[in-house]
Amino acid sequence: MDGGGCYGYYACLSHRWGNEGLIKTTKDNIGKHRNSVSWEHLPKTFQDAITFTRRLGINFIWIDSLCIIQDDDTDWHRQASKMAAIYKQAFVTLAATASTGGSTGMFTGSLRHIVEHTTPGFGPFQVHFRNRPRHLLLDHPTSFPLLERGWVYQERLLSPRVIHFGPDELSWECNQSTNCECARMSSVSYRPKVMHREALEYQGRGVAQMRWHAVIEEYTSCKLSRASDRLIALSGIAEEFKSSQNDRYLAGLWGRSLILDLLWLCLNSDQHDAHQKRAPSWSWAAREGRIGYVSAASRIERQFARFLDVRCDQVDATSCTGSLIISGPLIRLPKNVKSLGLDGSTKHIYMDCREADDWLKNGILYGILIAQDASWEISLVLREIEEDANVFERVGLLEVRLSKRNQSDHWKQRETGVGYENAEVATVEIV
């Protein structure tokens, strides 16, 4: 929806929709909503947000369910592409952090207590206290329902200022500081917005890479109502990194750190099927659920794989295709690769989907050695999809712990139990 030629500061509302049939703009009621929306028809959370915005002296507020035509895919994708700019340019974002839906409201009454006490010689006096407040940077996220949502992760990082309406008190986040009513959060070292801004402003590539990996880990622990939003709900943050680092964005990975960005792993692969077609298999966006990175990704000492070429083409706002060509030591993995080694700590294999275990048992998976730190070597696990054409898809990641004897040896002279000592370097295409 357009703004009707109006200009001025505006606030944004960050909220959970809930399951109670939230009011929204559709093709049928857009004409009516352009004229007015009855106060009585607005849910309590919207009413509270509007009331607070007025108290701040701000005349406009942007609410996604009202400002986007929800049953018009064209308008939804057009507005979704602008979402990052909308939150980034807002004067302030009001976050209904403790609310589970529109009917909950934003204002919560903290429990305060008064105790009468008498001290001999001084007479009676009152002690005022309240229950220990829950803090959004210190307590478990389940205390803050809003922060579990994937789209909200981007809204929070991109907004210049955020006021969180928590279960016990108000909290403040901006690009320079974090605080709350009781001032406990002012001394917290983990401050996502501050860390994010500092990483973007710092020119060292390693800092930005580590911050991006942290972003992916945090973002993928959140939930999305539509799995197809996996990339677009992070696109605004990606644009910030792209502008800051002057790098090429490749479906959740980056051109200058591509080899290391490949070292992601699925933390709940047994719950998901083979990769979705919204992204190439080498992208974490092709998988569902939480993503992590091997610890070695931040301290690689030797890189064995060599990046040759990459193609990434946008299909629409929510999906892309692509291929990656790399060369490196390639072997067919033994069927018993999971049980090789002296104990369970010598080898970790992380499959990307539940089908990968069956492929491994059938002996049809390959490993390509990517890199090594002081203690571990890391490989991608691949499945050949075009026989004799060296075309593969990624289906997992393998870590093998090196013994002290062979940690510094060349890969052809090491005996890791996987078989790279006899491997030849091959060029493969991963799609």
User: pLDDT tens digits for 122-161?
Assistant: 778 887 776 777 777 666 565 689 999 999 999 999 999 9
Q: How far apart are CA 281 and CA 262, in angstroms?
A: 10
Contact 297, 211 (CB under 8 A): no
Question: Nearest 5°: CA angle at 214, between 213 and 220?
Answer: 90
Pairing of β 306-316 and β 319-332: antiparallel
The alpha carbon of residue 119 and the mean position of all alpha carbons in its chain are separated, in whole angstroms, by 55
Among 98-102, 113-117, 248-252, the range scoring the smallest mean pLDDT is: 113-117
Q: If we measure between CA atoms, which residue out of 136, 99, 95 comes closest to residue 18?
A: 99
Tens of pLDDT, residue by residue over 12-51, are 999 999 887 889 999 999 999 999 999 999 999 999 999 9
Tokens of 201: 């402003």
Contact 414, 406 (CB under 8 A): yes
Tokens of 410: 């060349």
Biggest distance spanned by C-alpha atoms of the chain: 95
Q: Which residue bears the tokens 């986040």?
A: 173
Q: Which residue bears the tokens 């880990």?
A: 217
- Model pTM? 0.87
Contact 279, 251 (CB under 8 A): yes
Mean pLDDT of 105-118: 75
pLDDT for the residue numbered 273: 67
Pairing of β 306-316 and β 60-62: unpaired
Backbone angles phi, psi at 29, to 5 degrees: -110, 10
What DSSP character marks residue 131?
P
Tens of pLDDT, residue by residue over 351-380, are 998 888 888 878 789 999 999 988 889 999
Residue 264 has pLDDT above 80, yes or no: yes
Question: Nearest 5°: CA angle at 299, between 297 and 303?
Answer: 75
Q: How far apart are CA 162 and CA 92, in angstroms?
A: 6
Q: If we measure between CA atoms, which residue out of 399, 148, 179, 366 comes closest to residue 293?
A: 399
On the 0-12 / 13-18 / 19+ scale of CB atoms within 10 A, 285 is: buried
On the 0-12 / 13-18 / 19+ scale of CB atoms within 10 A, 127 is: exposed
pLDDT for the residue numbered 39: 96
The alpha carbon of residue 188 and the mean position of all alpha carbons in its chain are separated, in whole angstroms, by 22
pLDDT for the residue numbered 109: 66
Q: If we measure between CA atoms, which residue out of 3, 13, 89 comes closest to residue 47?
A: 13
Q: If we measure between CA atoms, which residue out of 264, 144, 279 comes closest to residue 212?
A: 264
Distances 188 to 138, 139, 179, 331 between C-alpha atoms, Å: 8, 12, 9, 47
Handedness of CA 377, 380, 383, 389 (dihedral sign): negative
pLDDT for the residue numbered 342: 42
Tens of pLDDT, residue by residue over 284-335, are 999 999 999 987 667 788 899 999 999 999 998 789 999 999 999 999 998 7
Contact 369, 382 (CB under 8 A): no
pLDDT for the residue numbered 409: 54
Contact 291, 265 (CB under 8 A): yes
pLDDT for the residue numbered 108: 75
Q: If we measure between CA atoms, which residue out of 89, 77, 230 comes closest to residue 159?
A: 89
Tens of pLDDT, residue by residue over 381-413, are 999 998 878 999 999 999 988 765 555 555 544
Backbone angles phi, psi at 72, to 5 degrees: -120, 105
pLDDT for the residue numbered 255: 96
Beta carbons within 10 angstroms of residue 270's beta carbon: 11
136 three-class SS:
coil
Q: If we measure between CA atoms, which residue out of 399, 390, 306, 385 comes closest to residue 351?
A: 399
